[in-house]
Amino acid sequence: MEKSKVLIVGGTGYLGKRLVKSSLANGHDTYILQRPETGVDIEKVEMLISFKMQGAHLVNASFNDHRSLVDAVKLVDVVICAISGVHIRSHHILLQLKLVDAIKEAGNIKRFFPSEFGTDPARMENAMEPGRVTFDDKMVVRKAIEEAGIPFTYVSANCFAGYFLGGLCQIGHILPSTDSVLLLGDGNQKAIYVNEDDIATYTIKAIDDPRTLNKTLYLRPPKNILSQREVVQIWEKLIGKELKKSTLSKEDFLAPMKELEYAEQVGLCHYYHVCYEGCLANFEIGEEGEEASTLYPEVKYTTAEQYMKRYL
């Protein structure tokens, strides 16, 4: 079977650059949207050029120019969007509505992967303000995709390992302490941590897979379904030392919310749902979804322990 041609939107971003690498490594004809907004951001420009030297095609297009988007989409079979939806970086989820319009007009796309890659927004209708904006915006995009009859796959990648394992699941930390750790609640709620390179690998695997068509692909590597306490235990084993532990009740966790900037409030809400409510692992995947490590057992995913060795 011939491999699909892929257009990646947001190809210089945190996840996007990994998607480009994985797409190229898997032999897909890979196109990257080059937006004029990149301007003189030399690091992004250099990354785009390095991808071009590895065989990717750069396509000039802008979200402000509908025709350019339609023309870009017509070059490929599959569109993957990885523009940021994390408020601490930037939040552009609704920009994808322009992409949906272009895909609808082009009429040739076999699969669209919108920018999801986190908690499944369909399960977050009761999420707290202001954090729910992320989920609400993603659902607006889903509704547009489905109303336009565009074939899709949604990827629920759960927790990015770099953000969560690095900081032992503490908000505002991305490097693990060798002295102490703050446990959120009792520290026993399960979450799911996925190496960002593995997120890209599983996503690219799903492109031409009929089993993932019009479904949500959940990334749940079995060895990485862990509570915060279990993450801390892995780290303690690696450093051969027990950390001093204190706990933070949910009331104390939420207390400073009003004083924080909007972006931080959003992040705090997301941590709350993951670490206090266990929203990632407290449900069974139904008929609307598939689980990646079951579909692709050949992928040797990075376990939490293997991942954390980088911090030694």
Distance CA 234, CA 224 (A): 11
Contact 306, 223 (CB under 8 A): no
Secondary structure class of 112 (helix, strand, coil): strand
Query: Catalytic: 258?
Result: no
Contact 82, 23 (CB under 8 A): no
The identity of residue 100, as a single letter, is V
- Which are the contacts of 259, defined by CB distance < 8 A and separation ≥ 6? none
* Radius of gyration of the chain from its Cα atoms, rounded to whole angstroms: 20
User: Looking at 17, 21, 104, 138, which residue is catalytic?
Assistant: 138
**Closest Cα partner for 16 from 3, 37, 34, 4?**
34
Ordered alpha helix ranges (H), 55-207? 66-73, 96-106, 132-147, 161-164, 196-206
| DSSP helix, strand, coil percent of the chain (3-state; round to 5) | 45, 20, 40
Distance separating the N- and C-terminal Cα atoms of the chain:
44
- Active-site residue numbers? 138
